[in-house]
Amino acid sequence: MSKRKSFIFIGIFVLVSLLNQSQLNAKHSKFLETMVFPVKNIMSHFYDDWGEIRGNGERVHEGIDIRARKGSPIVAIADGRVNTVSFTQSSGYYIAIDHQNGWLSLYVHLNDDINENDNLGGRQTAFADGIYLGAEVIAGQTIGYVGDSGNAEGTVPHVHFEVRYMGKSYDIYDYIKVSWERFERFIKFPKKMGINLF
Ligand SMILES: [Zn+2]
Protein backbone atom coordinates (compact mmCIF):
# COMPACT_ATOMS: atom_id res chain seq x y z
CA MET A 1 0.00 0.00 0.00
CA SER A 2 1.39 3.45 -0.89
CA LYS A 3 1.74 6.09 1.82
CA ARG A 4 -1.00 8.19 0.27
CA LYS A 5 -3.34 5.22 0.11
CA SER A 6 -2.64 4.23 3.72
CA PHE A 7 -3.30 7.82 4.74
CA ILE A 8 -6.73 7.77 3.06
CA PHE A 9 -7.39 4.34 4.52
CA ILE A 10 -6.57 5.56 8.04
CA GLY A 11 -8.69 8.70 7.54
CA ILE A 12 -11.74 6.71 6.49
CA PHE A 13 -11.18 4.30 9.33
CA VAL A 14 -11.06 7.11 11.92
CA LEU A 15 -14.29 8.62 10.57
CA VAL A 16 -16.08 5.27 10.61
CA SER A 17 -14.80 4.60 14.14
CA LEU A 18 -16.10 7.93 15.39
CA LEU A 19 -19.51 7.22 13.87
CA ASN A 20 -19.51 3.74 15.38
CA GLN A 21 -18.54 5.11 18.75
CA SER A 22 -21.40 7.59 18.88
CA GLN A 23 -23.84 4.87 17.81
CA LEU A 24 -22.61 2.71 20.64
CA ASN A 25 -22.78 5.46 23.25
CA ALA A 26 -26.31 6.16 22.13
CA LYS A 27 -27.21 2.63 23.22
CA HIS A 28 -26.15 3.62 26.73
CA SER A 29 -25.50 0.05 27.54
CA LYS A 30 -25.73 -1.37 31.00
CA PHE A 31 -23.67 -4.25 29.68
CA LEU A 32 -20.56 -2.11 29.26
CA GLU A 33 -21.06 -0.25 32.49
CA THR A 34 -21.19 -3.38 34.60
CA MET A 35 -18.54 -5.52 32.96
CA VAL A 36 -15.92 -7.25 35.09
CA PHE A 37 -12.27 -6.54 34.30
CA PRO A 38 -11.09 -9.52 32.21
CA VAL A 39 -7.60 -10.22 33.61
CA LYS A 40 -6.00 -10.80 36.99
CA ASN A 41 -2.37 -9.86 37.80
CA ILE A 42 -1.87 -7.25 35.13
CA MET A 43 1.77 -6.24 34.70
CA SER A 44 1.59 -2.71 33.41
CA HIS A 45 -1.16 -0.31 32.72
CA PHE A 46 -3.02 -0.87 29.50
CA TYR A 47 -3.86 2.03 27.26
CA ASP A 48 -6.24 2.74 24.44
CA ASP A 49 -4.49 0.84 21.65
CA TRP A 50 -7.75 0.09 19.87
CA GLY A 51 -7.41 1.42 16.33
CA GLU A 52 -3.60 1.41 16.25
CA ILE A 53 -2.24 0.67 12.81
CA ARG A 54 -0.11 -2.45 12.85
CA GLY A 55 1.62 -4.83 10.46
CA ASN A 56 3.27 -2.03 8.41
CA GLY A 57 0.02 -0.16 7.94
CA GLU A 58 -1.85 -3.19 6.75
CA ARG A 59 -4.19 -3.86 9.62
CA VAL A 60 -6.06 -2.05 12.30
CA HIS A 61 -5.82 -3.30 15.86
CA GLU A 62 -9.42 -3.87 16.86
CA GLY A 63 -8.90 -4.67 20.49
CA ILE A 64 -7.12 -3.71 23.68
CA ASP A 65 -3.99 -5.60 24.76
CA ILE A 66 -3.69 -6.24 28.48
CA ARG A 67 -0.27 -7.45 29.63
CA ALA A 68 -0.20 -9.90 32.50
CA ARG A 69 2.03 -12.65 33.85
CA LYS A 70 1.82 -15.80 31.78
CA GLY A 71 -0.81 -18.12 33.18
CA SER A 72 -2.77 -15.35 34.89
CA PRO A 73 -6.49 -16.11 34.98
CA ILE A 74 -8.71 -14.53 32.36
CA VAL A 75 -12.30 -14.13 33.51
CA ALA A 76 -15.61 -13.69 31.72
CA ILE A 77 -16.61 -10.01 31.74
CA ALA A 78 -20.31 -10.88 32.06
CA ASP A 79 -22.67 -13.84 32.16
CA GLY A 80 -22.98 -15.66 28.87
CA ARG A 81 -22.48 -18.77 26.81
CA VAL A 82 -19.21 -19.94 25.26
CA ASN A 83 -19.56 -19.25 21.56
CA THR A 84 -16.08 -20.25 20.34
CA VAL A 85 -13.16 -22.20 21.83
CA SER A 86 -10.62 -22.45 19.09
CA PHE A 87 -7.14 -22.05 17.64
CA THR A 88 -5.92 -20.24 14.53
CA GLN A 89 -2.40 -19.41 13.34
CA SER A 90 -2.82 -15.69 14.01
CA SER A 91 -5.05 -15.68 17.09
CA GLY A 92 -3.57 -18.75 18.75
CA TYR A 93 -5.94 -20.17 21.37
CA TYR A 94 -8.94 -17.97 21.88
CA ILE A 95 -12.42 -17.86 23.40
CA ALA A 96 -15.53 -15.93 22.45
CA ILE A 97 -18.50 -15.52 24.78
CA ASP A 98 -21.97 -14.61 23.62
CA HIS A 99 -23.65 -12.30 26.14
CA GLN A 100 -26.91 -12.04 24.21
CA ASN A 101 -28.57 -8.87 22.92
CA GLY A 102 -25.82 -8.59 20.30
CA TRP A 103 -22.83 -8.49 22.68
CA LEU A 104 -19.81 -10.72 22.26
CA SER A 105 -16.48 -10.68 24.09
CA LEU A 106 -13.22 -12.14 22.77
CA TYR A 107 -10.08 -13.26 24.59
CA VAL A 108 -7.13 -14.00 22.30
CA HIS A 109 -3.52 -15.40 22.49
CA LEU A 110 -4.15 -17.70 25.45
CA ASN A 111 -1.29 -19.72 26.96
CA ASP A 112 0.37 -22.40 24.86
CA ASP A 113 3.41 -23.03 27.06
CA ILE A 114 4.15 -25.54 29.83
CA ASN A 115 7.68 -24.37 30.70
CA GLU A 116 9.09 -21.02 29.68
CA ASN A 117 8.36 -20.56 26.00
CA ASP A 118 8.25 -24.18 24.84
CA ASN A 119 4.91 -24.03 22.95
CA LEU A 120 4.20 -27.52 24.27
CA GLY A 121 0.91 -26.57 25.86
CA GLY A 122 -2.49 -26.92 24.32
CA ARG A 123 -6.10 -26.71 25.28
CA GLN A 124 -5.20 -27.55 28.89
CA THR A 125 -2.81 -24.61 29.27
CA ALA A 126 -5.08 -22.25 27.34
CA PHE A 127 -8.61 -22.95 28.58
CA ALA A 128 -10.00 -23.37 32.10
CA ASP A 129 -11.82 -26.54 33.12
CA GLY A 130 -15.44 -26.58 32.06
CA ILE A 131 -14.91 -24.27 29.11
CA TYR A 132 -16.32 -25.90 26.00
CA LEU A 133 -18.59 -24.83 23.19
CA GLY A 134 -22.01 -23.99 24.60
CA ALA A 135 -20.92 -23.93 28.25
CA GLU A 136 -22.65 -21.32 30.39
CA VAL A 137 -20.35 -18.97 32.28
CA ILE A 138 -20.95 -16.32 34.89
CA ALA A 139 -19.32 -12.91 35.26
CA GLY A 140 -15.91 -13.24 36.91
CA GLN A 141 -15.56 -16.97 36.19
CA THR A 142 -12.07 -18.06 35.09
CA ILE A 143 -12.26 -19.11 31.45
CA GLY A 144 -8.61 -19.31 30.37
CA TYR A 145 -5.02 -18.22 30.96
CA VAL A 146 -2.84 -15.40 29.64
CA GLY A 147 -0.15 -16.36 27.14
CA ASP A 148 1.46 -15.50 23.84
CA SER A 149 0.03 -17.99 21.34
CA GLY A 150 -0.54 -17.20 17.66
CA ASN A 151 1.10 -14.07 16.29
CA ALA A 152 1.78 -12.88 19.85
CA GLU A 153 4.59 -15.45 20.08
CA GLY A 154 7.70 -13.63 21.27
CA THR A 155 5.82 -10.62 22.66
CA VAL A 156 5.11 -9.82 26.31
CA PRO A 157 2.32 -12.21 27.35
CA HIS A 158 -1.00 -10.42 27.00
CA VAL A 159 -4.63 -11.00 26.27
CA HIS A 160 -6.02 -9.30 23.22
CA PHE A 161 -9.43 -8.31 24.53
CA GLU A 162 -12.23 -7.24 22.30
CA VAL A 163 -15.93 -6.46 22.58
CA ARG A 164 -18.20 -6.71 19.57
CA TYR A 165 -21.72 -5.45 19.23
CA MET A 166 -23.82 -6.90 16.42
CA GLY A 167 -20.65 -8.34 14.88
CA LYS A 168 -18.64 -5.12 14.91
CA SER A 169 -15.67 -4.38 17.14
CA TYR A 170 -15.79 -1.20 19.22
CA ASP A 171 -13.32 0.80 21.24
CA ILE A 172 -14.61 0.19 24.75
CA TYR A 173 -11.51 1.63 26.48
CA ASP A 174 -13.47 4.13 28.58
CA TYR A 175 -15.59 1.33 30.01
CA ILE A 176 -12.75 -1.10 30.57
CA LYS A 177 -10.87 1.65 32.40
CA VAL A 178 -13.79 2.09 34.77
CA SER A 179 -14.06 -1.66 35.26
CA TRP A 180 -10.34 -1.75 36.12
CA GLU A 181 -10.76 0.99 38.71
CA ARG A 182 -13.63 -0.98 40.23
CA PHE A 183 -11.52 -4.15 40.20
CA GLU A 184 -8.53 -2.44 41.78
CA ARG A 185 -10.58 -0.95 44.61
CA PHE A 186 -12.97 -3.75 45.41
CA ILE A 187 -11.17 -6.93 44.46
CA LYS A 188 -7.46 -6.35 44.50
CA PHE A 189 -7.38 -4.23 47.67
CA PRO A 190 -10.47 -5.23 49.68
CA LYS A 191 -9.00 -4.12 53.05
CA LYS A 192 -8.15 -0.71 51.78
CA MET A 193 -11.66 -0.50 50.40
CA GLY A 194 -13.03 -1.09 53.91
CA ILE A 195 -10.95 1.75 55.30
CA ASN A 196 -12.02 4.04 52.51
CA LEU A 197 -15.68 3.30 52.90
CA PHE A 198 -16.12 3.26 56.63
ZN1 LIG B 1 -4.22 -7.12 20.40
Residue ranges of domains in the chain, CATH in brackets:
3-197 (2.70.70.10)
The pLDDT value given to residue 184: 73
Cα–ligand 1 centroid distance for 65 (angstroms): 5
Q: How far does residue 74's CA lie from ligand 1's centre (Å)?
A: 15
φ, ψ for residue 73 (rounded to 5)?
Answer: -65, 140
For residue 20, which amino acid is it? N
pLDDT band at 1 (very low <50, low <70, confident <90, very high): low
Residues 1, 12: Cα–Cα separation, whole Å:
15
Predicted confidence (pLDDT) per residue in 32-53, tens digit? 999 999 998 888 889 999 999 9
- pLDDT of 109-140, one tens digit each? 999 999 999 999 999 999 999 999 999 999 99
Gap from CA of 169 to ligand 1 centroid (Å): 12
Ion ligand 1 contact residues with beta carbon within 5 A: 63, 65, 160
3-state secondary structure of 160: strand
pLDDT at 196: 36
pLDDT of 105 over the 50 cut: yes
Residue 176: how many other CB atoms lie within 10 Å? 23
Ligand 1 centroid to residue 134 C-alpha, Å: 25
Instruction: Using the mean position of ligand 1's atoms as its centre, give its distance from the Cα of residue 116 in Å.
Output: 21
198 alpha carbon – ligand 1 mean position (Å): 40
